[in-house]
A and B are shown apart, each in its own frame.
Chain A
Amino acid sequence: MSEGTGTGDGGRGPERVTMARALNLGLRAAMEREPKVLVMGEDIGALGGVFRVTEGLAKDFGEERVVDTPLAEAGIVGTAIGLAMRGYRPVCEIQFDGFVFPAYDQIVTQLAKMTHRSRGTLTMPVVIRIPYGGGIGAVEHHSESPEALFAHHTGLRCVSPSNAVDAYWMIQQAIASPDPVIFFEPKRHYWDKAELHASAEPYPLHRARVVRPGTDVTVVAYGPTVPLALRAADAAAEEGRSLEVVDLRSISPLDLAPVEESVRRTGRCVVAHEAPVFLGLGAEVAARVTERCFYSLEAPVLRVGGFSVPYPAARLEEEYLPDADRLLEAVDRVLDT
């Protein structure tokens, strides 16, 4: 299902699409290819989702496959588990990151463990899409980055595209996965455009990728911090510093091979995410890079991210979120060591 056919562009050439549109096209392609794919969630039918990612799907695929659910997240995920047991491939939309927690029990104690519990006889091809991260000036519970809480649980796969092209392919690959995938969509980048070549060969779902080569410092990012790292790299270049940016793309499993290869050349590494630094993905990356690249490192691996406070009110979020300056400050520190 992850191969590059039926891409929804009707055989036309490349087009510039937003990430929201790319996700919509990816969902369409998966639904056209596999009748067992269902989309379910709150307001995803006539409204097309609060971010319009499912726009038009209800009209084109009907309410049996585009299921407007009652307003109950545990119910959405719990019934998706039952549908998966019956052979369906549900794609659940959680409206905002902060609303996933009513479903956390079903995700962690049921969805993640059902395959193991049943000794592989019940598989859970369920995708849970979560718009996550800050930067949109939202009210409380609409800007969080809970990915580490999910990546910690064996049985779940966690990915986050950083751009429209990856979003288009990764949503289809996630739907094709026999395992549950928590799909983190960086909501502040829903309207960023990229050129989509629907006939291109997709990159593997769980592989990290160098998105900007460089020689001085390895910057590791995923989701919303990838565009940030690229901006920081532009700024650093003006000062004669060359940053190599790695887009992790997959949070579980983590593919650190490109990171390690990079760090062996640069000797320096900075990890950036919006989630709080404490016990975030950066801690895992730093530990592993230290274990495997210890003798190549010229400086400690540094982490840049959110603070250990509840996500602040909108007028403070730009203070809370890592920006290019904070990232470059860390770059300075690893270079000055």
Chain B
Amino acid sequence: MTSSTGRTATASTPSAAGGSPAAAGPMHVVQMLTPDGRRVDHEEDPALAAHAATLTAEDLRGMYRDMALARRVDVEATALQRQGELGLWASLLGQEAAQVGSARATLPQDRLFPTYREHAVAMVRGVDPAQVLSLFRGVDRGGWDVEATGLSPYALVIGSQTLHATGYAMGVQRDGAVGTGDPARDACVLAYFGDGASSQGDVNEAFVFATAYQAPVVFVCQNNQWAISVPAERQTRVPIAQRASGFGFPGVRVDGNDVVACYAVVRAAAERARAGEGPTLVEAFTYRMGAHTTSDDPGRYRPSVEVEQWRARDPLTRLEAHLRRDHGADDAFFADVAREGDTAASRLRRAVLEMPDPEPGSMFDHAYAAEHPQVEEERAWYAAYLAGLDGEEGRTA
């Protein structure tokens, strides 16, 4: 790792187009990699600098690999949707650093509560992307093992999961898995949400509960500037991170396209939570480079010049420049990663195309944990109905 400029990055992040300066800043932004890939230290908070300093060249390459694979998977998923193989896709393009940096700051015993865009988080936690795409193909609601991966199901109702995260964290407290000093035991919870969700009552209630009980939860807000078509300044007149102070816990704004800073800030917040020191709000200031989902048309509401401004701050380009400049990563490394991405993408495509449609009767499964006579009556009726259709010339309905 090379020279620090000796200066801490300041709020140089451009505001969203037409945005009020209030929502975009001024607020201190933690940055450790400049957009052109220079490593800068963080002098004001030695803990952050120390966390960043733990990242070896191998770690940084691993982060790049995670981000590149997630982006390649994202491209493949978008293509699959365009080809009619997925009903919908929510692209994470542009948010790879915020997701990989934060997820890599977690430990196996931590629990993460994602939204429907946290594909890179899922991959870092060991979820096979095919299990994410099964949700978007309409085969199921997401097929991963929550306990094994520590990743809750994707939340589709904006902000709802922040309360679940807080409640889970209250359970962690009751289990005595906070503040013991045992790194294998102490756990924390990450609650992902976005700038739009910050307006939801659930999120604000989660802040209230988390602070009232000093629950070990890290609120990770990826402020990607747009809630579908509505800019962040319609959600807030102050930086989102600043809201935490009104609830009585720390808030930090981090350059969300800087994977090193995202890692360091979330790791510090996670360690604080695990130590029993309560919640933190991390606002990862980033940008949704693509559409909200494949059903969206951002050309109707945001200027392309804004997208181009953010393209210059691309999280992968930035890390690539840093790896080439300071860690000797060469063309062969990046070609390897690209090849690995292509392999993952074709494996994913094959897995999606081979996904069998679920059995009709399976919709009755797990409606309840214990048998429910109403469901069983309808299951039996529908099975008999389908059996009665056998031998007929197809169905008219």
B-contacting residues of A (Cβ < 8 Å)? 38, 64, 69-70, 72, 74-75, 77-88, 102, 105-106, 109-110, 114-124, 154-155, 157, 177-179, 206, 252-255
Let me know if B367 and A119 touch, CB within 8 A.
no
Also in contact, A106 and B174, with CB within 8 A (given A119-B140, A120-B366)? no
Q: Assuming the A-B contacts A82-B167, A86-B168, are A110 and B157 also in contact, with contact meaning beta carbons closer than 8 angstroms in the complex?
A: yes
Is the beta-carbon distance between A74 and B170 smaller than 8 angstroms? no
CB distance from B153 to the nearest CB of A (A): 5
Q: Whose C-beta in chain B lies nearest to the C-beta of A65?
A: B174
Q: Are B171 and A157 in contact (CB under 8 A)?
A: no
B212 contact set on A, CB distance < 8 A: 70
- Does A81 lie within 8 Å of B375, measured CB to CB? no
Interface string of B372-384 (1 = CB under 8 A from A): 1111000000000
B372-A121 in contact (CB<8A): no
Residue B205 at the chain A interface, CB threshold 8 Å: yes
CB neighbours (8 Å) of B153 from chain A are 114, 117-118, 122
Is the CB–CB distance between B202 and A85 below 8 Å? no
Task: Report the 5 A-B pairs with minimum CB-CB distance, sorted nearest first.
Answer: A82-B167, A78-B163, A86-B171, A79-B167, A75-B205
Cα separation A87 to B172 with both chains bound (whole Å): 10
Known: A157-B368, A157-B372, A254-B374. A110 touches B170 (CB 8 A): no
| Structural contact, A115 and B167, CB atoms closer than 8 A | no
Could you list 19 A-B pairs, sorted by A, with CB under 8 Å? A70-B208, A75-B166, A75-B205, A75-B209, A78-B162, A78-B167, A79-B164, A79-B170, A81-B164, A83-B171, A85-B167, A85-B168, A86-B171, A88-B171, A88-B174, A110-B164, A115-B366, A115-B367, A118-B141
Q: Give, as a whole number of angstroms, the nearest-CB distance from A200 to chain B.
A: 23
B269 within 8 A of A: no
A105 to B163 Cα, complex, angstroms: 12
**B interface size (C-beta, 8 A):** 42
Chain A minimum-CB-distance residue to B162? A78
B167 touches A117 (CB 8 A): no
CA distance A79 to B175 in the complex (A): 15
Least CB distance from B191 to A in Å reads 10
Separation of A123 and B147 alpha carbons in the complex (Å): 12
Question: Which among B141, B147, B163, B367 is the interface contact of A106 at CB below 8 angstroms?
Answer: B163
Contact B206 A78 (CB under 8 A): yes
Chain B positions within 8 Å of A116 at CB level:
141, 365-367
Contacts of A123 in B (CB 8 A): 369
B112 to chain A, nearest CB (A): 12
Chain B residues contacting A88 (CB-CB under 8 Å) are: 171, 174
A309 vs B131: C-alpha distance when bound (angstroms): 48
Q: Chain B residues near A79 (CB, 8 Å)?
A: 163-164, 166-167, 170, 206, 209
- Contact B168–A102 (Cβ < 8 Å): no
Q: Is the interface of B mostly helix, strand, loop or mixed?
A: helix
Q: 18 extra interchain contacts, Cβ-Cβ under 8 A, other than A105-B202, A110-B164, A117-B141?
A: A75-B209, A78-B205, A79-B163, A79-B206, A80-B167, A81-B163, A82-B167, A83-B167, A85-B111, A87-B171, A106-B163, A114-B153, A119-B366, A121-B146, A122-B146, A124-B369, A253-B372, A253-B373
Contacts of B140 in A (CB 8 A): 119
What chain B residues lie within 8 Å of A117 (beta carbons)? 141-142, 153
A249: min CB distance to chain B, Å: 14
Chain B residues, Cβ within 8 Å of A74: 163, 201-202, 205
Q: A72 with B164: in contact, given A117-B153, A179-B369 (CB under 8 Å)?
A: no
Q: How far in angstroms is the closest Cβ of chain B from A274?
A: 23
Q: Please tell me if B169 contacts chain A, counting CB pairs below 8 Å.
A: yes
B317 adjacent to chain A (CB < 8 Å): no
Q: Does B165 reach chain A (CB closer than 8 Å)? A: yes
Q: B152 on the interface (CB 8 Å rule)?
A: yes
**B161, chain A: closest CB distance, angstroms:** 8
In the complex, what residues of A have CB within 8 A of residue B370's CB?
A: 177-179
For the complex, is B145 an interface residue (Cβ under 8 Å from A)?
Answer: yes
Closest to A124 in B: B369
Q: Given the interface contacts A72-B208, A82-B167, A85-B152, does A109 sit within 8 Å of B160 by beta carbon?
A: yes
Which of the residues A38, A64, A72, A78 comes within 8 Å of B160, measured between beta carbons? Answer: A78
Closest B residue, CB atoms, query A90: B167
Q: Note all chain B residues with C-beta closer than 8 A to A70.
A: 205, 208-209, 212
Chain A residues closer than 8 Å to B152, beta-carbon distance: 85
